Amino acid sequence: MTARTVEHLSMFAAALSVSVVIGIGLGILLYRRQRYSGSVFALLNVLETFPDLALLALLIPFVGIGAMPTVIASILYSILPIARNAYTGLISVGREQIEVATAIGLTEHEVLTQIRIPLALPLVAGGIRIAVVFTMGIVTLGGLIGAGGLGVPLQTGIFNNIPEIILLAGAWVGLLAVILDGVAGLIEKRFQRRYGEW
């Protein structure tokens, strides 16, 4: 179980890290190009409606089975909440704060990096917390397509009707999800205390 847990967390960390980078980057890009935000978020919303297994199946002909389609699917699902929250946080900063920053001589870029982004961090953290749940679920499903991780013992228990394995693997996956969500929640609350709650 230890080796499977390491596999699971490795895929989880890889997928979430890429999702955070892309999601925050996309949120900033759409803030700078707001006329495209509606179309991009509409596309991401459509992608989000795909069932997990259907998306995994669609990726297999292009990247094969295993960890790759699992990580890609996790990233695709997790981009939306992070990007949406980053964008919302950036555009929701109060006009008074921007006027004060401009009055003391900050450039538009400095306002973005020193005012808007820090104040958006609580919302960004909330988006990442949602992405944690998405990623954990899809990585678990990856066991069905040869990705390894904790989905494998869970799949073995289900296919062979072994309640003990199902219970152990299911409980361990659930506990990991609760722990990771708790960590993400603590980070979110820390940002809320420092930068304010939306």
- Dist. CA 94–CA 125, nearest whole Å: 19
**24 and 78 Cβ atoms separated by less than 8 Å:** no
Provide the pLDDT for residue 14. Answer: 98
Provide the pLDDT for residue 181. Answer: 95
Tell me the backbone φ, ψ of residue 178, rounded to 5 degrees.
-65, -45
Q: pTM of the full predicted structure?
A: 0.91
The angle formed by the CA atoms of residues 23, 148 and 5, to the nearest 5 degrees, is 80
Structural tokens at position 98: 């921007």
- Dist. CA 142–CA 195, nearest whole Å: 37
Q: Which CATH class is domain 2-195?
A: mainly alpha
Orientation angle between helical segments 163-195 and 117-141, nearest 10 degrees: 180
Domain ranges of the chain: 2-195
Provide the pLDDT for residue 197. Answer: 63
Q: Is 181 left (phi over 0), alpha (psi -120 to 50) or beta?
A: alpha
Provide the pLDDT for residue 198. Answer: 52
- Dist. CA 26–CA 39, nearest whole Å: 13
HSE (CB half, 13 Å, CA atoms) of 77? Answer: 28
Along the chain (198 residues), what's the average pLDDT of each consecutive run of 10 residues? Answer: 92 98 97 95 93 93 95 96 97 86 86 91 96 95 92 91 92 95 94 78
Alpha helices, DSSP H, located in the chain: 2-32, 37-48, 52-63, 67-91, 95-103, 108-111, 117-141, 151-159, 163-195
